[in-house]
Structure 1
Amino acid sequence: MSIIIKPIITEKITKDGELFNRFGFVVNKKANKIQIKNAVEAAYGVTVVNVNTMNYRADRTVKYTKSGLISGKTAAYKKAVVQVQEGETIDFYNNI
């Protein structure tokens, strides 16, 4: 089971990374906090202090256009915010 799907790179998460050493990831829906902690430590070589998880539901949208109704749906996902130890960081931009 692949635990980490992709990192989240937004303005808010980037600011949290600089100020509080917190980094966001989209993770597998069935993964728990211990599995997420072990996966991040193995992938990035850092010490994880805290893990917070959030489940996002699928949102349905309906648009009214000239050609009729268009319905759509966004995917449901699980987000994990990981806090690493003071002095350590994760660099998503340099793959060394």
Structure 2
Amino acid sequence: MKPIVTEKSAGYDSAGVYVFKVESSANKIEIRQAIEELYGVKVKKVNVVSVPQKSRFMKGRKGIHSGYKKAMVFLGKGEKIDIT
């Protein structure tokens, strides 16, 4: 599990929402428990998105950019995670 730091995900920090790239076999309960244990915060809810794989062309050959699972973690009021 590692945080996804983009311009869009950094904008969610003020609302108490953090985005993580997680194991594709992980479910919401496992993600919640891992975040609470790793960062010592109380998780309000977890949304999960499966990002599909995409085909790419490189030097005239077709390849595949593998997909992954992304979790949006909503924290309770006053809770923060220091990602830096």
Shorter-chain TM-score above 0.5 = yes
Percent identity over the alignment? 37
**Cα distance, 1:70 vs structure 2:** 2.4
Deviation above 6 Å: which 4+ runs of structure 1? none
Structure 1, unmatched stretches of 5+, are: none
Letter in 2 for 1:70: R
Residue 37 (1) aligns with residue 32 (2): yes
Letter in 2 for 1:86: K
Q: Identify the residue that residue 89 of structure 1 maps to in structure 2.
A: 80
> What's the secondary structure of 1:29's corresponding residue?
coil
Structure 2, unmatched stretches of 5+, are: none
Aligned residue-pair number: 84
Q: Identify the residue that residue 60 of structure 1 maps to in structure 2.
A: 55
C-alpha separation in 2, matches of 1:77 and 1:44: 22
C-alpha separation in 1, matches of 2:22 and 2:49: 10
Which structure has the greater CA radius of gyration? 1
CA RMSD of aligned residues (A): 1.1
Of the three residues 20, 26, 50, the one matched with 2:45 is 50
Of the three residues 62, 68, 71, the one matched with 1:80 is 71
TM-score (norm 2): 0.93
C-alpha separation in 1, matches of 2:82 and 2:66: 27
C-alpha separation in 2, matches of 1:21 and 1:13: 11
**Cα distance, 1:75 vs structure 2:** 1.4
